[in-house]
Amino acid sequence: MQQYIDFFKSQRQKIDESCAPLLNAFREKAFESFQRLGFPAYQSEDYQHTDIAGLLKDDFGFYLNHAVTGINPRKVFPCNVPNLNSFKHFVVNGQFYEEQTAMNLPQGVFSGSLNTFAKQYPALFSRYYNRQAAEKGDGLAAFNTMFVQDGYVLYVPENVIVEKPLQLTNISGGNVNSLVNRRMLIILEQGAQAKLLVCDHTTDEKPILAATQVVEIYTGENASFDFYEMEESSLNTVRLTANFVQQAASSSVIANNITLSNGVTRNNYQVDLTGKQAETHLLGMAIVDVQQKIDNFTLINHRVSDCQSNELFKYILDDEAVGTFSGRIIVAKDAQKTAAYQNNRNLLGSNNCRMYSKPQLEIYADDVKCSHGMTTGQLDETVLFYMRSRGIPKEEAALLLKFAFTNDVIGGIRLEGLRDRLKLLIEKRFRGESLKCQGCI
């Protein structure tokens, strides 16, 4: 922790140099918070199995002042998902990749650099940026705010519908140990609709590539937002994310996180349902083996009545992989007529992998429909025997059962092209084949 405090003090001018003044204005309070809070304590209530300070103890390099890396994302990871027909953006080592090609976005929609948005929409930026992260985040969110250089913003004005999905590809690389701090700000005003796919990739296998990412999502009344994340990174990658969602009345949010390959991943989700009849669908799936680690933490706050949340996380573990799920649903005293469901299901492929699960409900209202559950086990030997008796080889039968296990998470994706691509990637993952996206050079 002290190394980052000293670095911030000594490099403050360079940190600020190429960033919008409004972005820099939030650093000092974040620095004060980080000095007070530090990184989340290992083995504390919400970080029982992920040592943040330990993961970030190495001497990482920082990409400050828009450092040039020589990575051309169009050549490295075009990420062409067939039939998706999306608006494509790239962030390279935390910096939004500016391109000259204009996008035919609907009138008033902004999709681009965090720094550019701060300059062009100062009132909106000041109103939304870092509000949730400062109020509800921990020391890791403050750390991100201290050092972030750029990121991505999606702003959709009132009643505007973005028909085509948007795709953002995060690329980390550079052949040296590095720490990148990324930011995303999503604002959908009343009646707005949009879908966003975020893909995480790394270009190098050997260096340790760490990334912190803070995402703040705001949906106005009757707004609808689909947020899909897919991680395909290396074994030496550390990915630490904090996702904050605030929903107004009758808004709908789908958040679906897929981890196909990684090193160590910790994803935090905090959802606040602040308007009646708001609806959240939070889904996740992870396929981990070797010595990979995946830790998902969720907190859904039902603050008002007549809201609904559905939560489903599935893990498939093998070898010496470690999985963690900690989910908490809080129903406030006045949040009557709440419907909240939470489920975690896990499939273990070896005796050496480990799964830690902690689903929780805190209910302070008396007229609700809430449930939570967890199951952990191995493939059903009876079903395997039946399939083999019908002439299906053992390995193929096991693959089919594991593939079927993922269906309800994949089925929650409302982009047909992405669903089809994920089915192919998941099959390749189970077969031990390369996961490099089709269409990537």
Longest dimension (CA), the chain: 70
**Concatenated DSSP letters of 58-82:** S--EE--SS------HHHH-----T
Distance CA 264, CA 363 (A): 32
Q: How many domains does the chain have?
A: 1
DSSP-derived secondary structure letter, 39 = S
What's at 253, amino acid-wise? Answer: V
pLDDT of residue 362: 96
Token pair of 99, please? 């391109």
For residue 168, which of 107, 65, 81 has the smallest C-alpha distance?
Answer: 81
What's at 166, amino acid-wise? Answer: L
Q: Is pTM, for the whole model, over 0.75? A: yes
98 is a domain residue: yes
Token pair of 61, please? 């390099």
DSSP-derived secondary structure letter, 381 = H
- Per the CB < 8 A criterion, the answer to whether 359 and 327 are in contact is yes
Residue 251: which residues within 8 A CB-CB, separation 6 or more? 188, 219, 220, 221, 222, 223, 224, 225, 275, 278, 279
Distance CA 405, CA 399 (A): 10
Count of CB atoms situated within 10 Å of the CB of 434: 8
* CA 295 remoteness from chain centre: 12
- Per the CB < 8 A criterion, the answer to whether 415 and 195 are in contact is yes
Range of the domain at 235: 2-378
Distance CA 392, CA 397 (A): 6
360 is a domain residue: yes
Beta bridge partners of 252: 224, 279
What element of type H or E holds 362? Answer: strand 354-363
371 is a domain residue: yes
437 is a domain residue: no
pLDDT of residue 172: 85
In a 13 Å sphere around the CA of 133, the CA atoms on its Cβ side amount to 29
- Per the CB < 8 A criterion, the answer to whether 368 and 339 are in contact is yes
Mapped onto helix, strand or coil, the DSSP state of residue 372 is strand
pLDDT of residue 83: 66
208 is a domain residue: yes
Distance CA 198, CA 391 (A): 40
32 is a domain residue: yes
- Per the CB < 8 A criterion, the answer to whether 226 and 198 are in contact is no
283 is a domain residue: yes
416 is a domain residue: no
pLDDT of residue 65: 65
pLDDT per residue as tens, the chain (441 positions):
889 999 999 999 999 998 999 999 999 999 999 999 999 999 898 999 999 999 999 888 887 766 556 666 666 655 566 667 788 898 988 889 887 666 789 999 999 999 999 999 999 999 999 999 999 999 999 999 999 999 999 999 999 999 999 999 998 887 788 899 999 999 999 999 999 999 998 887 778 889 999 999 999 999 999 999 999 998 999 999 999 999 999 999 999 999 999 999 999 999 999 999 999 999 999 999 999 999 999 999 999 999 999 999 999 999 999 999 999 999 999 999 999 999 999 999 999 999 999 999 999 999 999 999 999 998 888 888 888 888 888 888 888 888 889 998 998 898 888 988 888 889 888 888 766 554 443
pLDDT of residue 80: 61
